[in-house]
Amino acid sequence: MGNSLMATYNRIPIAMTKGEGSYVWGADGAKYLDFCVGIATCSLGHVPPYVKERVEKQLNMLWHCSNLYEIPIQEELADMLTANSCFDKVFFCNSGAEANEGALKLARKYGKEAKGPDCYEVVTFTQSFHGRTMATLAATGQEKIQKGFEPLMPGFRYLPYNDIDALDSVNTAKTCAVLLEVIQGEGGVNTADDQWLKAVETLCRDNGILLMVDEVQTGVGRTGSLFAYQQSGIEPDVMTLAKGLGSGFPIGALLASDKTAAVFGPGTHGSTFGGNPLACSAALATLQFMLETNIPQQAEKLGKYLAESLTGLQARYPQIQEVRGRGLLCGFVIPEQAAAVMEKARGQGVLVLMAGPDVVRILPPLTCTKEEIDHCIRVLDASLAAL
Ligand SMILES: *Cc1c(COP(=O)(O)O)cnc(C)c1O
Which residue's CA is the nearest one to ligand 1's atom 10? 130
* Ligand 1 binding pocket mutation candidate from 216, 249, 353, 359 (most atoms within 8 A of CB): 216
Res. 152: pLDDT tops 70: yes
SS3 at position 46? strand
Give 358-378 pLDDT, tens digit per residue. Answer: 999 999 999 999 999 999 999
Report the chain's mean pLDDT, rounded to a whole number: 98
For residues 97-124, give the mean pLDDT: 98
Give 206-247 pLDDT, tens digit per residue. Answer: 999 999 999 999 999 999 999 999 999 999 999 999 999 999
| Continuous segment of H or E residues that includes residue 136 | helix 134-139
Rounded to the nearest 5°, which phi and psi values hold at 71? -130, 90
Integer Cα distance of 39 and 243 in angstroms: 8
Question: Which residues does 3 contact at the CB level (< 8 Å), separation at least 6?
Answer: none
Integer Cα distance of 128 and 126 in angstroms: 5
Which residue's CA is the nearest one to ligand 1's atom 8? 96
Give 5-63 pLDDT, tens digit per residue. Answer: 999 999 999 999 999 999 999 999 999 999 999 999 999 999 999 999 999 999 999 99
% of the chain with per-residue pLDDT over 90: 99
Q: Which residues line ligand 1 (CB under 6 A)?
A: 95-97, 100, 129-131, 181, 185-186, 214, 216-217, 242-243
130 Cα–ligand 1 center, Å: 6
- pLDDT band for position 2 (cuts 50, 70, 90): low
Question: Which residues does 59 contact at the CB level (< 8 Å), separation at least 6?
Answer: 278
For residues 170-189, give the mean pLDDT: 98
In the chain, the DSSP E strands lie at: 16-20, 23-26, 31-34, 89-93, 121-125, 156-159, 175-180, 183-184, 190-191, 210-214, 238-241, 252-256, 322-326, 329-333, 350-351, 353-354, 359-362
Residue 154 has a pLDDT of 98
User: Using an 8 Å Cβ cutoff, are 40 and 222 in contact?
Assistant: yes
Res. 132: pLDDT tops 90: yes
381 Cα–ligand 1 center, Å: 30
% of the chain with per-residue pLDDT over 70: 99
Rounded to the nearest 5°, which phi and psi values hold at 73? -70, -30
Q: Which of 216, 224, 175 is nearest to 41 (CA)?
A: 216
Q: In ligand 1, which atom is closest to the CA atom of 217?
A: 15
Residue 178 has a pLDDT of 98
User: Using an 8 Å Cβ cutoff, are 192 and 213 in contact?
Assistant: no
Residue 304 has a pLDDT of 98
Q: In ligand 1, which atom is closest to the CA atom of 98?
A: 9
What DSSP line would sit under 355-386, residue for residue? SSSSEEEE---TT--HHHHHHHHHHHHHHHHT
- Residue environment code for 263-286, b if the CB has 16+ CB neighbours within 10 A, otherwise e: bbeeeebebebbbbbbbbbbbbbb
Integer Cα distance of 219 and 36 in angstroms: 15
316 Cα–ligand 1 center, Å: 34
What DSSP line would sit under 188-222, residue for residue? T-EEPPHHHHHHHHHHHHHHT-EEEEE-TTTTTTT
Question: Which residues does 256 contact at the CB level (< 8 Å), separation at least 6?
Answer: 87, 88, 89, 90, 91, 106, 237, 238, 239, 264
User: CB atoms < 10 A from the CB of 201, how many?
Assistant: 20
